[in-house]
Amino acid sequence: MKIRCLSPAGAVFLIVSAALAQYPVNPVLRPPTGAQVAIVIFEDLECPDCRRAVPVLEGASRKCNVPLVVHDFPLPSHAWSFAAAVMARYFESLSKPLGDQYRDYIFEHQPEITTDTLRTFSERFASEHKISLPKVVDPQGKFAQQVAADRDLAYDMRLRGTPTIYVVSKTQVKPFEEDVDRSQLDLLIEAMKSDEATGR
């Protein structure tokens, strides 16, 4: 079955809803320790829909004070997304905020990046943060294994495209369509936080 960026976003909702109806909830679709509610995204750094969705999710995460949990889902139809995800894991190994900034930087410059120029953009990002980028960022293949594990998790969950977005609590999992008005995302998060606080 061909894997691709899905558009319109409603296709994501239908696929995810079907998956959740047929299979037990994966532990990944629960908030991290200490959080009542979280936003979870499976993203591809080369996906234009992800580029549009992530700033909205980051804004909702800050406004509603809930974590944004990112999983890599590099699609085979995208030439440089896997390598970009590996590079993001390298920067995350230096610091989580740095990894997040790198992902945002790649989304910002996504239309300009090719397989041949990804390294150049990564070096530019490193230079701007006063970091010397090693010639080989993943000599043991550890970061590639982490990206592949996320990708395989997406396959196991029967996900078909990116971005796939959820708002999750300890008791609820709700898919979210990336082209829905941001205020609806804020309302969904606050409603789920209220449900958790009242034990509903």
Residue 66 has φ and ψ, to the nearest 5°, of: -130, 150
- Tell me what pLDDT residue 10 has: 39
For residue range 120-135, what is the model confidence (pLDDT) as tens digits?
A: 999 999 999 999 999 9
For residue range 71-100, what is the model confidence (pLDDT) as tens digits?
A: 999 999 999 999 999 999 999 999 999 999
Quote the CA–CA distance of 39 and 61 in Å, as a whole number.
7
Estimate the share of the chain in helix, then strand, then coil, as percent rounded to the nearest 5: 55, 10, 35
Does residue 59 sit in helix, strand or coil? helix
Q: Which two tokens stand for residue 115?
A: 């397989």
For residue range 36-66, what is the model confidence (pLDDT) as tens digits?
A: 999 999 999 999 999 999 999 999 999 999 9
- Tell me what pLDDT residue 22 has: 45
- Tell me what pLDDT residue 26 has: 84
Q: Return mean pLDDT, the chain.
A: 88
Q: Which residue has the higher pLDDT, 124 or 19?
A: 124
Structure pTM?
Answer: 0.85
Q: Is the pLDDT of residue 70 over 80?
A: yes
- Tell me what pLDDT residue 29 has: 95
| pLDDT tier at 183, thresholds 50, 70, 90 | confident
Given the DSSP bridges, would you call strands 37-43 and 68-72 parallel, antiparallel or unpaired? parallel
Quote the CA–CA distance of 62 and 143 in Å, as a whole number.
27
Domain ranges of the chain: 10-198
For residue 28, give the DSSP letter.
Answer: G
| pLDDT tier at 177, thresholds 50, 70, 90 | confident
Interhelix angle for 142-156 vs 81-94, to 10°?
120
Quote the CA–CA distance of 24 and 40 in Å, as a whole number.
17
* Residue in the block written with tokens 């953009």: 121
Residue 60 has φ and ψ, to the nearest 5°, of: -65, -40
- CATH superfamily ID and name for 10-198: Glutaredoxin (3.40.30.10)
- Mean pLDDT within 171-194: 88
- Within 10 angstroms of residue 112's Cβ, the number of other Cβ atoms is 9
